[in-house]
Amino acid sequence: MQYRTLGRTGIKVSPYALGALMFATAVGNPDPDDAARVIHRALDAGINFVDTADVYGDSEEVVGRALKGRRDDVVLATKFSRPTGQDPNHQGASRRWIVTAVENSLRRLQTDHIDLYQLHRPDPDTDFEETLSALTDLIRCGKVRAIGTSGLPASDIVEAQWVAERRGLARPHTEQPAYSLLNRGVEREVLPVAQRYGMGTLVWGPLGQGLLTGRVRKDGPNDLRRAHMFQHLNDQRRLDVVEQLIPVAAEAGLPMTHLAMAFVIAHPGVTSALLGPRTMAHLDDLLAGVDVALSDDILDRIDEIVPPGTDIGRLDQEYRPPAIATPGRRRRPAAERSAA
């Protein structure tokens, strides 16, 4: 395993990181003991970077139990800000919620510190100064080692860096964007901006949240669980591109999973890519491709199918800023439109 430096933190991490969403018993592996065996298998293979979140059901608890006796060998990351209940203040990036959320995560993870604490999604209602001030205090008291963000637009990444510099606060050292053969939009601004500021990137969805596993074919059976719940798994535009990528993988002599993972970690701005295995078989398949390196010819073929900086459709779970998601932010009032 060739380790990489996580931004400018000095922390060394594996190019494959272990995403823990599928270890939540309600949505992934229903057996915590089996999930622990999967985690141990990943650690034994050299993966030293584990990422979870407070909103992933009981994932933090499963991970915490699995890491007993091995905590010091792991770079442990978790996230906050997405709603964890009905209370409107049990979410977001306010100091009030951060100081509560971190204690909850520490308890569930059974640890006294978090190596990387990440803002899970932007919070337009909270100033970056408020958020970074609270996170800086967590670093100073030893509960957090480094801080990062997830799903931030490039403009927000820049603003957070500027606020940190001007106010003398800890700056985000990482960003966690969606990135795959099907979602290359972050190549335009997010990855270059992260590189400019020396940030590490931990990318999620490298398998297109299932579409790049080889288990989904156009006009064929779809054996992914809960496929009916996610629109992106039935997006014909994305399925058409998958059909074009399958021969490329075959030409390279690779399973689709290995092509997809090797593609994302080939980008110089990517530090680690998140694996999201539910079972040991899923993990073993992905680990078998850890040393795969794509040739320029194969990368050129991919560029012809999905041009750099292009998204094919969109992921259901991607962040949509208020300027896009809220009609009132992009339409003048009807009275003004009529007057015009």
Give the list of residues 6+ apart from residue 107 with CB closer than 8 angstroms, or none.
none
- Is 56 part of the annotated catalytic residue set? yes
pLDDT > 60? residue 225: no
| Domain boundary assignment for the chain | 4-315
Q: How far apart are CA 117 and CA 113, in angstroms?
A: 10
CATH hierarchy code of domain 4-315: 3.20.20.100
Q: Is 57 left (phi over 0), alpha (psi -120 to 50) or beta?
A: left
Residue 276: half-sphere exposure toward Cβ, Cα within 13 Å: 19
- The mean pLDDT value for 174-179 works out to 97
Write the DSSP string, 168-213: T-PPP-EEE-B-SSSB-GGGTTHHHHHHHTT-EEEEB-TTGGGTTS
Which residue in 16, 56, 117, 179 is the catalytic one?
56
Of 327 and 142, the one with more pLDDT = 142
- Give 236-286 pLDDT, tens digit per residue: 899 999 999 999 999 999 999 999 999 999 999 999 999 999 999 999 999
Q: What is the pTM of this model?
A: 0.93
Find out whether 297 and 253 touch, Cβ atoms under 8 Å: no
Q: Which range among 37-41, 220-224, 232-236, 278-282 shows the weakest confidence by mean pLDDT?
A: 220-224
User: Can you give the pLDDT at residue 231?
Assistant: 63
Report d(CA 151, CA 156) in Å as an integer: 10
Structure-block tokens of residue 12: 């060394």
Least confident of 68-72, 233-237, 242-246: 233-237
The crossing angle, in degrees rounded to 10, of helices 95-109 and 59-66 is 40
> Do residues 292 and 264 lie in contact, with contact meaning Cβ atoms separated by under 8 Å?
no
φ, ψ (nearest 5 deg) of residue 258? -70, -40
Q: What is the pLDDT of residue 64?
A: 98
